[in-house]
Amino acid sequence: MSTILDGNAVRDQIKNECRPRVEAMVSRFDRPPGLAVVLVGDNSASQVYVRNKTKTAGELGIYNETITPPASISTDDLLGIINELNSRQEIDGILVQLPLPKHIDAQKILLAVSPAKDVDGFHPYNAGLLATGREGLKPCTPAGIVELLKRNHIQIAGRNAVVVGRSDIVGKPMAFLLLREDATVTICHSRTKDLPAVCREADILVAAIGRTGMITADYIKPGAVVVDVGMNTVTDRKQAEDLFDATRLAAFEKKGSLLTGDVNPKDMARLASAYTPVPGGVGPLTIAMLMRNTIDAAERRCS
């Protein structure tokens, strides 16, 4: 029987480890770690994500503030906000919520964040530290996946790992983190020949492609560990029948939509030795790792 890798349980472990570190910083430096979130415009999904992040920060005793410039703000004016946050001593972490409005140069904004405060781990400086095996702020979702595997006693060293997706946010850093754990890593993408055959070589398969249910039984080696990073909304009845068991199909009928990942959940549950559900797998870890990154950044800046 497959083991379900519970992201909520690991999230709670990480949060519990963060609390005494926040208390120790307050005791030693007379201030908590500080997190600033920049939320441009009124994207409703982004507002939900930011509320969840700031709520968690507040629960842990991390000072947090949200800066909400209008969607019409120029790149130069937004750069001014970032530069001000870079200079503020009580702010240890800066997060620019994506996506930004199309007229803003997102790369220019992300590059302007001080690498020491880059709690998303997206800055090329931190990417370079990761690629060369040095300590730095790591992207939250891939770092959370490694925590999930380790805390569930899943062996990484010596195993074949396949990462489907090559984004700078998940795919590439995921590969580097798995390499650091001594896995043999293959990165796949849209030009990979015979993708199902490559995926079937994986002892650990990480799907991060943003395509609903694309990874089916043909891609999964029986007994593999499958990590589904996808977060997609299913609204089509026929697609729901293909993806969901009777329990989840009943939930779909009631709500009219349901979240699922990049892996067919029925195939994953049948073939994998262990797997992450969607929701409740990888998702909860991202915010927990953001909190840990903020504390790491604060401790480094105060040391």
Active site residues: 53, 97, 120
Residues contacting 297, CB < 8 A, separation 6+: 33, 92, 93, 116, 117, 119, 137
d(CA 124, CA 199): 29
DSSP one-letter code for 281: S
Torsion 95-99-103-106 (CA) sign: positive
d(CA 70, CA 234): 31
Q: How many CB atoms lie within 10 A of CB 87?
A: 9
**226 has which bridge partners?**
205, 275
Helix residue ranges per DSSP H, 61-113: 75-87, 106-112
Q: How many CB atoms lie within 10 A of CB 301?
A: 17
**227 has which bridge partners?**
206
Tracing tokens 């694309």 back to the chain, one arrives at 214
